[in-house]
């Protein structure tokens, strides 16, 4: 019996809702959020009541991973179920004028669902390329509608922009010498620069309208909401500014949580909450170089930019009222697994390519064992020369290489800093992540044949995986072209300063 039939049966028995309506999917994706940033993950002063409510009523993951410690590669893997090395979204991230983007021959979750009649929308941070004439925008990748900033909101001058009311300027300079960040609807610039104080309201209204319209049409839907929160520079409108105990970071996080609360009200009000799977996670770990403005990795080591746990282990919540039973799972899962899981639940065909994700249904509906035994850790600049930097096999993680990052500077741990240069470990550093999730105490292999056997298994997995990995053409290495930067007045001069509307 396939998962779509199983879910329909569970819904019929538990909810008295014996319909054949396909499930809806809402995928919420935070930005630079650390493992320890949510109230439900132990932060003492974060105000995240709606996310905490989802965690209390759903399944909270303790061992959930992204595939890259920076934005663009992580998003490529999320939407395709494939490591970023396959799609070519590496090294680093895409920029406003990047020539490359997520290749159109890659199949996104939206494109998996479209043949089944799903309505699809994306709202927020895209960061998978724009390209010439909008080649790589969401509307070219399976999404019917898009509202958002097509890259990171710090990728434009922000020193004169207002991030908090009444007129508190954004912290720092952001990127200078480029166009101010635009707000796009589908492929048209609606505002440049964006109004940060009203941005979240615009996103909330767009997402709520999409849900309401789909529900009214009785059309199944997929909503992808990659938020800008809590990436630097933080911002928040009047509904959240000054209302948290964590300063700017806490206010930005609270604004995201408020939006999630509004979406839950819309799902409830339109009568589709019981038929909607909500998934929440983040793209990578916290940007610790921003100190109190950069998030918190909890007990995990380092953060953004590194292959330590703090860079790639993420908070994650799955919620489906009446279908997913409340609890906590310690099973290993990944953003890679979201596409195969959604495809299975919708009864959709999987792309005919090498997928790295597995179906999580057994975890979600039975709180059973994961099909995932391994997780690969690529650095921000993966290469065939070095391959994976680390591998997790069951509870053990082996670091073949370690390297710090500027994103994780300012912490007392010197191994996190950019000054911690690339180091080869032979034998690899081996950690028991159940006993030592902070990766402080490498296991000694001396007189431990059991650990030597584990390491032997890990090396075999590494050899097999790297033997099967075919690196796609690097999209980011195609470079940038200033003429590709989005400008609402394409013929104006002098650029980029004249791009205002």
Do residue 266 and residue 161 come from a single domain? yes
| 244 inside domain | yes
| CA 334 to chain centroid | 10
Domain CATH code at residue 403: 3.30.1120.10
Our count of domains for the chain comes to 2
Structure tokens, 156: 């434009």
| 482 inside domain | no
Do residue 303 and residue 329 come from a single domain? yes
Do residue 172 and residue 263 come from a single domain? yes
Tens of pLDDT, residue by residue over 169-184, are 999 889 999 999 999 9
pLDDT by 10s per residue, the chain, length 501: 465 555 554 555 444 445 569 999 999 999 999 999 999 999 999 999 999 999 999 999 999 999 999 999 999 999 999 999 999 999 999 999 999 999 999 999 999 999 999 999 999 999 999 999 999 999 999 999 999 999 999 999 999 999 999 999 999 889 999 999 999 999 999 999 999 999 999 999 999 999 999 999 999 999 999 999 999 999 999 999 999 999 999 999 999 999 999 999 999 999 999 999 999 999 999 999 999 999 999 999 999 999 999 999 999 999 999 999 999 999 999 999 999 999 999 999 999 999 999 999 999 999 999 999 999 999 999 999 999 999 999 999 999 999 999 999 999 999 999 999 999 999 999 999 999 999 999 999 999 999 999 999 999 999 999 999 999 999 999 999 999 999 999 999 999 999 999
Tens of pLDDT, residue by residue over 91-129, are 999 999 999 999 999 999 999 999 999 999 999 999 999
Domain CATH code at residue 348: 3.40.720.10
Do residue 387 and residue 354 come from a single domain? no
Do residue 288 and residue 387 come from a single domain? no
Of the candidates 43, 66, 127, 488, the residue annotated as catalytic is: 127
Do residue 312 and residue 389 come from a single domain? no
Do residue 287 and residue 167 come from a single domain? yes
Of the candidates 40, 71, 170, 488, the residue annotated as catalytic is: 71
Of 332, 353, 372, the last residue of a domain is 372
Residues 6+ apart with CB under 8 A from 183: 147, 148, 149, 189, 190, 191, 192, 194, 195, 199, 202
Do residue 271 and residue 395 come from a single domain? no
| 16 inside domain | no
40 is catalytic: no
231 is catalytic: no
| 352 inside domain | yes
| 333 inside domain | yes
Do residue 358 and residue 381 come from a single domain? no
| 474 inside domain | no
Q: Whole domain around residue 456: which residue ranges?
A: 377-467
Do residue 41 and residue 117 come from a single domain? yes
Question: What DSSP element (H or E) covers 119?
Answer: strand 119-123
Residues 6+ apart with CB under 8 A from 494: none
| 6 inside domain | no
Do residue 160 and residue 272 come from a single domain? yes
Of 372, 391, 408, the last residue of a domain is 372
> Scanning the structure block, which residue is given the tokens 């990436």?
231
Do residue 345 and residue 401 come from a single domain? no
| 55 inside domain | yes
Of 372, 402, 432, the last residue of a domain is 372
């Amino acid at each position: 019996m396939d998962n779509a039939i199983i879910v329909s049966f569970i819904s019929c028995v538990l909810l008295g809702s014996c319909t054949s309506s396909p499930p809806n999917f809402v995928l919420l994706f935070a930005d630079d959020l650390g493992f320890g940033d949510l109230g439900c993950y132990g932060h003492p002063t974060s105000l995240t009541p709606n996310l905490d409510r989802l965690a209390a009523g759903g399944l909270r993951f303790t061992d959930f991973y992204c595939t890259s410690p920076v934005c663009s590669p992580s998003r490529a893997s999320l939407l395709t179920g494939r490591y970023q090395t396959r799609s070519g979204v590496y090294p680093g991230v895409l920029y406003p004028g990047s020539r490359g983007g997520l290749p159109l021959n890659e199949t996104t979750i939206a494109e998996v669902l479209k043949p089944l009649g799903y309505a699809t929308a994306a709202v927020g941070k895209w960061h998978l390329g724009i390209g010439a004439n909008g080649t790589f925008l969401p509307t070219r990748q399976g999404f019917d509608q898009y509202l958002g900033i097509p890259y990171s909101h710090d990728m434009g001058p922000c020193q004169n922009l207002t991030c908090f009311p009444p007129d508190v300027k954004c912290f720092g300079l952001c990127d200078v010498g480029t166009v101010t960040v635009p707000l796009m609807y589908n492929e048209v610039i609606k505002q440049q620069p964006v109004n940060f104080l009203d941005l979240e309201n615009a996103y909330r209204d767009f997402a709520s309208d999409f849900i309401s319209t789909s529900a009214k049409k009785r059309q199944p839907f997929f909503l992808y909401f990659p938020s800008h929160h809590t990436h630097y520079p933080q911002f928040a409108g009047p509904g959240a500014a000054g209302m948290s105990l964590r300063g700017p970071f806490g206010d930005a996080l609270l604004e995201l949580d408020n939006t999630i609360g509004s979406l839950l009200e819309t799902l409830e009000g339109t009568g589709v909450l019981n038929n909607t799977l909500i998934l929440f996670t983040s793209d990578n770990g916290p940007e610790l170089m921003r100190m109190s403005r950069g998030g918190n990795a909890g007990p995990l080591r380092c953060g953004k930019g590194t292959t330590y746990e703090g860079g790639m282990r993420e908070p994650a919540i799955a919620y489906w009222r009446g279908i997913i039973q409340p609890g906590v799972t310690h099973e290993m899962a990944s953003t890679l697994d979201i596409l195969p899981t959604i495809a299975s639940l919708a009864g959709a065909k999987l792309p005919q390519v090498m997928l790295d994700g597995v179906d999580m249904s057994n975890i979600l509906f039975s709180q059973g064992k994961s099909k995932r035994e391994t997780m690969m850790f690529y650095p921000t600049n993966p290469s065939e020369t070095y391959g994976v930097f680390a591998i997790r096999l069951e509870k053990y993680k082996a670091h073949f290489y370690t390297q710090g990052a500027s994103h994780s500077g300012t912490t007392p741990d010197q191994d996190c800093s950019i000054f911690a240069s690339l180091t080869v470990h032979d034998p690899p550093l081996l950690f028991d992540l159940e006993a030592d999730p902070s990766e402080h105490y490498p296991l000694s292999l001396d007189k431990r044949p059991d650990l030597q056997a584990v390491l032997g298994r890990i090396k075999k997995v590494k050899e097999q995986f790297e033997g099967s990995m075919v690196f796609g053409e690097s999209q980011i290495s195609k470079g940038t072209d200033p003429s590709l930067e989005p400008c609402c007045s394409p013929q104006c001069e002098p650029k980029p300063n004249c791009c205002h509307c």
